[in-house]
Amino acid sequence: MHKSKKPKDFLKVPQYPGGKTAMSKFLNENLKYPQEALDNKIEGTVEAEYFVDGLGKIKNVNILKGLGHGCDEEVKRLIKSLVFDKAVNRGLKTSTRKTLKINFKLPKKKAPTLQYQLVKTKPPKDAPVKKSGGYNITISYTKK
């Protein structure tokens, strides 16, 4: 007798539409650095665990390693906003455990800019010959 081979993926697990790359892009675009963490100059990684049911919905988000100062709450908010594809496993309701690490890195401060413009002015037509004109200086300072 010849046995048929089992498929490699015995159980289907919910996948994020577009894969890991799309999920990373979504997280980076929607991550809001908490003001309290910015004020206290907090950086680091928050590790979270969550479950995805067969319908692709997020359940039970738990922080495994947190930073505090609003970062943990932001990670929970982000994870709860994820939506996965459905995964049907022979009619059974299954739940998949996943972990996620999200890095919080302070944004780099932009250096202030100083711009200037030097424009030579022409002397008036009725000015004496010795006067050769002057300069107008425009200076602008932008603090970012």
The lowest-confidence range among 19-23, 30-34, 55-59, 89-93 is 89-93
Specify the higher pLDDT residue, 49 or 91. 49
- Report whether pLDDT(117) > 70: yes
Per-residue pLDDT, averaged over 45-56, amounts to 92
Higher pLDDT, 120 or 81: 81
- Residue partners of 14: CB distance under 8 A and separation at least 6: 52, 53, 54, 56, 84, 85, 86, 87, 96
pLDDT of 105 above 60: yes
Q: In sequence order, what DSSP letters do the residues of 54-96 get, joined into one string?
A: TTS-EEEEEEEE---TTHHHHHHHHHHT--PPP--BTTB--EE
CB 15 within 8 A of CB 90: no
Q: Is 62 a residue whose pLDDT tops 70?
A: yes
Does the pLDDT of residue 115 top 60, yes or no?
A: yes
Torsion, CA 76, CA 78, CA 80, CA 84, rounded to 10: -140
Which helix (H) or strand (E) segment holds residue 120: the answer is: strand 113-121
